[in-house]
Structure 1
Amino acid sequence: MKQRLKLAIGLVVVGAILLGIAAVTVKPVNAAPHAFHFGFKRSVDGSIPSVKEEGFEHILQKHGAWYVGDTDKKELFLTFDNGYENGYTIKILDVLKEKQVPAAFFVTGHYVKQHADLVKRMVEEGHIVGNHSWTHPDMTQISAAQIQSELEQVKQQAAPLMGQQQMKYLRPPRGIFNDHVLDISRQAGYTSVFWSLAYKDWEVNAQKGARYAYEQVMKQLHPGAIMLLHSVSSDNAAALGDIIDAARNQGYTFKSLDDLPLSETIPGLN
């Protein structure tokens, strides 16, 4: 009887050990760090947007990433994401040229390969061309080497079109990032730029008209706004001139990302 009891106890102990080992071994050794999808508390009546409740403020600060400019100044920073061309970038560039407004265009590898003429025009007309990755992946799910490759391929493809301009600004695809992504990007020489003004403008089959785009942008206007618009939107192309005129009538000026101070201290995070 005693022998059986000892055997039973032994089996229980061994089973517990095996379960413990299993519990340890099933945990991924190289699990990706926590990923964030960029979000913010929107501006209302000119208030300053906030990321304090999103849980990643310290990561932006750590890596010198921007989502808003100097909130003490009535300055706006106009940026476009160019994943692919939908026929509206020429219109956008025409308006920017007419209104003498600088902008930043974040381009993918597909865009640079297919529309080198437009990238070249962006540069020639004084706009910034930024990196939006080669294939638009979730960069929190790929290795450091793959992140570097994604960025380098865009840089090399665009180099013949850039003149004296250096590609130095990055917008992570889909706004998905973590500490690792921003760290690798910064080591590659990039300043990551997010946004403090945006609306759901990228669904090409759900456009709602120029007036809608105008209202969505104007109601979020605030000092230091980094404005994100998608160039695939017909609404944006149609509303852009009126947005620029109305913002200027409110006392705003449009600035280049190069006017953001290269500092460890980001005004919007203080």
Structure 2
Amino acid sequence: MKQVTLTLLLVICVSLFPQDTASAEALSNKEHNWSFNPAQNNQPATTEPLYEELIEKYGGLYIGDTREKELYLTFDNGYENGYTGEILDVLKEKEVPAAFFITGHYLKEESDLIDRMVNEGHTIGNHSYHHPSLPAVSDERLEREIRSLEEEYEKATGRTDMMYLRPPRGTFSERTLAKTAEMGYVNVFWSLAYKDWETDKQKGADYAYEKIMKRVHPGAVMLLHSVSSDNAKALPKVIDDLKAEGYTFKSLDEWRLKQEEFFQ
């Protein structure tokens, strides 16, 4: 509990009192690949100590309050494979909020689905315009990747609420965390995922259900890919059974609000 409280305080302090990131170029640009360590018996996952330190320092998120049976459902949407509409139908029926992290390609090609996400109260997150590894590009290119998607999103929807970033490919460095935090973004990683993105290796709804239920834990930030037919088929039972176990699904905005209230 002490560790969770300290994490919350650090994240809040970064959000309310941003660090001086003007010297981001001088920070380490060593590329890291996000990873997490699943625990047994639905206990909270962990990550590398360095990753934990960097996320706390720059106000990111990979896990919520592990004292509460709260879940954050997120999807990565690089391209459409015909299942997002079905997923949105389930979320609407079950009254569950989610975050969809989109690319420039998705924004241009799937305007109807974007409209549904917005109109049905979901969060639209930034997954960059062209999906490059951010440590591999300059500060100027990084800013273009993020701002260009942000601007196109505003043109398409009239909204200016894009504030969550899922680093493309799950790669990051201290420089990219600092730069994107300076731009006003919260880097959102995850504490629950499985290999669901290979569209030619889907194994059925039961397989997806077992993978998700085995790894779920209090405070989980769940990463699923909407290209997976397994996820679309398993999602109704996943949601129903998790609710029956006492879990509630929260939005990323609720996570931010909870931290601000905790700080006050």
Aligned-partner Cα distance in 1 for 2:241–2:39? 17
The within-5 A match list for 1:127-206 is: 127-164=122-159, 166-206=161-201
- Counterpart of 1:45 (choices 41, 45, 61) is 41
Match of 1:117 in 2: 112
Identical-pair percentage = 51
- For structure 1, the residue ranges without an aligned partner over 5 or more in a row are 1-29
Q: Are the structure 2 counterparts of residues 212 and 123 from structure 1 closer, same or farther at C-alpha, using a change threshold of 3 Å?
A: same
Match of 1:35 in 2: 31
Aligned-partner Cα distance in 1 for 2:179–2:48? 24
Alpha carbons 1:64, 1:263 under 8 Å: kept = no
Match of 1:5 in 2: none
Q: Which has the larger radius of gyration?
A: 1
Alpha carbons 2:28, 2:174 under 8 Å: kept = no
SS of match in other structure, 1:110: helix
Match of 1:75 in 2: 70
- CA drift of 1:161 comes to 3.6
Aligned-partner Cα distance in 1 for 2:211–2:226? 16
SS of match in other structure, 2:256: coil
Aligned-partner Cα distance in 2 for 1:226–1:264? 15
- CA drift of 1:163 comes to 4.3
- Counterpart of 2:202 (choices 207, 230, 237) is 207
Q: Whose helix fraction is larger, Structure 1's or Structure 2's?
A: 2
Q: Are the structure 2 counterparts of residues 31 and 185 from structure 1 closer, same or farther at C-alpha, using a change threshold of 3 Å?
A: closer
Q: Which moved more, 1:195-204 or 1:253-262?
A: 253-262
Alpha carbons 1:207, 1:235 under 8 Å: kept = yes
The within-5 A match list for 1:233-248 is: 233-248=228-243
Letter in 1 for 2:32: F
Aligned-partner Cα distance in 2 for 1:71–1:40? 15
Match of 1:9 in 2: none
- CA drift of 1:117 comes to 1.1
- CA drift of 1:170 comes to 0.3
In the alignment of these two chains, the number of paired residues is 236
TM-score under structure 2 normalisation? Answer: 0.85
Match of 1:3 in 2: none
- CA drift of 1:162 comes to 3.4
Q: Are the structure 2 counterparts of residues 263 and 200 from structure 1 closer, same or farther at C-alpha, using a change threshold of 3 Å?
A: same
Aligned-partner Cα distance in 1 for 2:147–2:122? 20
Render the CA deviation track for 1:45-77: whole Å, top value 9, x for unaligned. 121111145x32211111010000111100000
Letter in 2 for 1:258: D
Aligned-partner Cα distance in 1 for 2:192–2:145? 26
- CA drift of 1:262 comes to 6.0
SS of match in other structure, 1:56: helix
Aligned-partner Cα distance in 1 for 2:159–2:108? 20
TM-score under structure 1 normalisation? Answer: 0.83
Does residue 232 in structure 1 map to residue 231 in structure 2? no
- CA drift of 1:43 comes to 3.0
